[in-house]
């Protein structure tokens, strides 16, 4: 009879929740609202959210922010706004209702649990709000803190979504919540399998909790979703295994030697301890027997000796148990994670290849000018890096006067070529022409020029890094998936490297200058007898190589810091690129850049925390490589190869 009365009263208490308006719902449940707790208020909040009252969202939001009050005189609820004298009142329909003193209004202050219920109820309103920004914010909030309660309102909002982008996000988020929280096992498995070849981080973040495990001990296999059985000594250390037994209350704590010694001393009587003579306590086994007797007599705390701990471990098996109880769901999740792991490995290899190709294009662009001066003319130009720096500073100066970044880059590229071409010609006329066939003197002279140029650049531009800003259309990256991406600047540099490769091939194979350069390279004496001026060709060749270095400086400055030491970061790699690829061969330079860029990225992949070590290993590898192939990857053929 009492059970019937309790059920009847419970039905009566819920009946007012069927009221149609928020005002009626609050009035009928004013006591529950005033003393709200997470355990009692959920039906009221659900009723408000399910009502057709247009003020429901406003009232719930105000309640969560302590903006809902109850007037003591008539039990009416108002939206309240604090003032110095009390509160300004607005009735639940939005009309002004005057003001009231603080003593007349009970301000509702929901605790964290109630606010959580209100936030969940508000999801259905924000997901269907007319403002796309609010809908997007709601989706971001759900994705950040996914709960089972958000699944139903999310599903309900999908049918009315008109924005195609938000619709796709809602559908994806719905599947992510389904695979984690849906009550139907088949629906969860279907949601997992429905992602197919997806590599999204959000998918992996949803699958990993399904495969989380805990370790438990049992005398035999438990009726749970077992991930695997753990072998003590192989998968689980004995000490850790016994701690699991202690934590589960299946075995007493281990007996430490100090605690055992103190206990035996405290219970020593007439030369005996636990029935064992003091003279016989010279080994651990005897001390364990004595302590066991004291345990049985209740004189010492129960604790496990080594033999008892070993016996306890032998009596139990240890298992990794999935926190997810459904084996079908964990099997589908594990298959998906394994498949994702394989594809992520493939994508990481592709991403590493793209990074290597990107770095190779940078090295090729920096080295192509050196390939002309060093590879074709045989001049060791240690100031090549400074020509790269001059090109970068030229781009910076142009941007000081041309604020449109696209236009400034288009102006800076040919201007940098002209400036560094002129510097290269001046250097060749004043210094290099007097040092041909004297490589050591050329190296020392250009090294001195390098130091002088660095100091001049410091005096002019200072020691702080200067900005060389890329156009807006080069911002961001080309993203294939959550694993593979490459920045648009790197793509632009790759394209620029291809352009210069094509230009160089055209210049050397299709123009008179290229023919004369090749003739002077092969045999300067014979070329001079054919009417070619070797002195003029050397000047133009050196200027051309220097000009290309200037263009490389503009490109490199778009993503690297522009300082007077910019060129020193690339001079070593440029020389290695030319030497490894094959002196005097543009295809060799391309092969050398690809090899060095790819090798550096591979080494950095295995040792990502130390880029200096990666460069050291790369140099050691190149030294060994040159020992076996001293003429480079693509050796120069013909008469010049013997020079």
CB-based burial label for 521 (10 Å; 0-12, 13-18, 19+): buried
Give 190's pLDDT tier (boundaries 50, 70, 90). very high
Give 17's pLDDT tier (boundaries 50, 70, 90). very low
Q: Estimate to the nearest angstrom the gap between the alpha carbon of 526 and the chain centroid.
A: 61
| Residues comprising the chain, all counted | 643
Give 387's pLDDT tier (boundaries 50, 70, 90). very high
Give 7's pLDDT tier (boundaries 50, 70, 90). very low
pLDDT for 611 = 64
- Residue 115 token pair: 């606010």
Give the pLDDT mean for 482-509.
84
Q: What is the pLDDT of residues 192-226, one digit of tens each?
A: 988 887 888 888 888 898 999 999 888 888 888 88
Instruction: Say which residue the tokens 């080994």 belong to.
Output: 283
Residue 10, pLDDT above cutoff 50: no
pLDDT for 78 = 84
pLDDT for 5 = 45
pLDDT for 71 = 86
- Residue 193 token pair: 């399998």
Domain ranges in the chain are: 16-116, 127-212, 213-254+304-322, 257-294, 344-638
pLDDT for 16 = 44
H-state helical runs in 472-610: 488-510, 512-522, 524-529, 534-557, 568-581, 586-606
Fill in the DSSP letter of residue 304: B
Q: 271 or 106: whose pLDDT is higher?
A: 106
Q: Chain-wide mean pLDDT for the chain?
A: 82
pLDDT for 44 = 83
Give 439's pLDDT tier (boundaries 50, 70, 90). confident
Q: What is the pLDDT of residues 229-277, one digit of tens each?
A: 899 888 888 888 888 888 888 888 877 787 778 777 778 787 787 777 7
Q: 7 or 44: whose pLDDT is higher?
A: 44
Specify whether the CB–CB gap between 498 and 215 falls below 8 A: no
pLDDT for 636 = 57
Q: How far apart are CA 466 and CA 464, in angstroms?
A: 6
Q: Residue 418 CB: number of other CB atoms within 10 A?
A: 13
Q: What is the pLDDT of residues 46-88, one digit of tens each?
A: 788 777 677 887 888 888 888 888 888 788 888 888 888 888 8
pLDDT for 345 = 84
pLDDT for 609 = 63
Range 344-638 classified under CATH 3.30.1910: no
pLDDT for 635 = 63
pLDDT for 104 = 85
Q: How far apart are CA 22 and CA 30, in angstroms?
A: 12
Residue 393, pLDDT above cutoff 80: yes
Of 503, 557, 558, 575, nearest to 390 by C-alpha is 557
Give the pLDDT mean for 612-641.
71
Beta-carbon contacts of 605 under 8 Å, excluding residues fewer than 6 positions away, are 352
pLDDT for 514 = 81
Please state, in angstroms and as integers, the Cα–Cα distance from residue 497 to each residue in 172, 357, 414, 476, following that order.
Answer: 40, 11, 15, 20
Give the pLDDT mean for 425-450.
86
> Is 0.85 surpassed by the pTM of this model?
no
pLDDT for 608 = 65
Residue 363, pLDDT above cutoff 80: yes
68-71 and 86-90: which strand pairing? unpaired
Q: 482 or 423: whose pLDDT is higher?
A: 423
Q: 187 or 74: whose pLDDT is higher?
A: 187
Give the pLDDT mean for 173-191.
90
Residue 89, pLDDT above cutoff 90: no
Please state, in angstroms and as integers, the Cα–Cα distance from residue 556 to each residue in 75, 380, 470, 534, following that order.
Answer: 72, 22, 11, 33
């Amino acid at each position: 009879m009492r059970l019937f009365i309790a059920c009847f009263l419970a039905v009566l208490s819920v009946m007012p929740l069927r009221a149609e308006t928020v005002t009626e719902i609050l009035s009928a449940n004013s006591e529950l609202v005033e003393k709200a707790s997470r355990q009692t208020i959920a039906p009221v909040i659900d009723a408000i959210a399910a009502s057709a009252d247009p003020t429901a969202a406003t009232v719930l939001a105000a309640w969560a922010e302590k903006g809902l009050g109850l007037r003591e005189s008539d039990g009416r609820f108002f939206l309240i706004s604090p003032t110095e004298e009390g509160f300004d009142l607005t009735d639940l329909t939005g009309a002004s209702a005057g003001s009231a003193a603080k003593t007349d209004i009970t301000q509702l202050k929901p605790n964290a649990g109630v606010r959580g219920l209100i936030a969940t109820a508000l999801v259905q309103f924000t997901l269907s709000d007319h403002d796309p920004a609010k809908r997007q914010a709601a989706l971001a909030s759900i994705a950040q803190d996914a709960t089972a309660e958000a699944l139903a309102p999310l599903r309900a909002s999908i049918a009315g979504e008109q924005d195609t982008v938000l619709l796709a996000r809602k559908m994806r988020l719905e599947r992510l919540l389904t695979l984690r929280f849906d009550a139907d096992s088949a629906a969860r498995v279907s949601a997992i399998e429905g992602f197919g070849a997806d590599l999204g981080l959000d998918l992996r973040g949803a699958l990993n909790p399904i495969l989380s495990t805990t370790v438990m001990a049992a005398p035999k296999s438990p009726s749970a979703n077992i991930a695997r059985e753990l072998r003590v000594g192989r998968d689980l250390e004995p000490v850790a295994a016994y701690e699991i037994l202690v934590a589960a209350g299946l075995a007493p704590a281990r007996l430490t030697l100090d605690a055992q010694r103190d206990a035996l001393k405290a219970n020593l009587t007439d030369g005996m301890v636990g029935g064992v003579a003091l003279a016989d306590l010279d080994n651990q086994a005897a001390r364990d027997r004595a302590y066991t007797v004291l345990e049985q007599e209740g004189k010492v705390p129960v604790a496990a000796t080594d033999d008892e701990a070993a016996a306890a471990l032998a009596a139990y098996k240890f298992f990794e148990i999935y926190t997810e109880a459904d084996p079908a769901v964990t099997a589908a999740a594990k298959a998906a994670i394994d498949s994702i792991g394989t594809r992520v490995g493939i994508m990481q290899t592709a991403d590493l290849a793209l990074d290597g190709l990107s770095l190779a294009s940078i090295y090729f662009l920096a080295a192509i000018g050196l390939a002309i001066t060093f590879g074709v003319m045989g001049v060791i130009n240690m100031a090549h890096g400074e020509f790269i720096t001059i090109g970068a500073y030229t781009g910076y100066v142009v941007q000081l006067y041309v604020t449109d970044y696209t236009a400034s880059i288009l102006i800076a590229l040919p201007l940098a070529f002209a400036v560094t071409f002129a510097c290269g010609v001046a250097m060749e006329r004043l210094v290099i022409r007097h040092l041909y066939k004297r490589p050591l003197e050329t190296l020392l002279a250009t090294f001195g020029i390098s130091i002088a140029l660095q100091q001049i650049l410091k005096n002019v531009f200072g020691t702080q890094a200067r900005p060389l800003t890329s156009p807006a259309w080069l911002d961001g990256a080309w993203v294939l998936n959550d694993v593979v991406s490459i920045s648009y600047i790197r793509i632009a540099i790759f394209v620029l490297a291809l352009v210069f490769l094509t230009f160089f091939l055209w210049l050397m194979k299709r123009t008179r200058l290229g023919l004369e350069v090749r003739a002077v390279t092969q045999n300067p004496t014979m070329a001079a007898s054919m009417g070619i001026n070797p002195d003029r060709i050397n000047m133009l060749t050196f200027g051309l190589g220097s000009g290309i270095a200037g263009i490389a400086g503009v490109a490199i400055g778009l993503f690297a810091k522009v300082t007077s030491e910019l060129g020193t970061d690339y001079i070593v790699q440029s020389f290695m690129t030319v030497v490894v690829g094959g002196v005097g061969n543009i295809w060799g330079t391309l092969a050398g850049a690809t090899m060095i860029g790819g090798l550096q990225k591979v080494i950095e992949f295995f040792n990502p925390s130390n880029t200096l070590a990666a460069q050291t290993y790369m140099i050691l590898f190149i030294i060994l490589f040159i020992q076996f192939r001293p003429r480079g990857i693509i050796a120069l053929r013909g008469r010049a190869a013997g020079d």
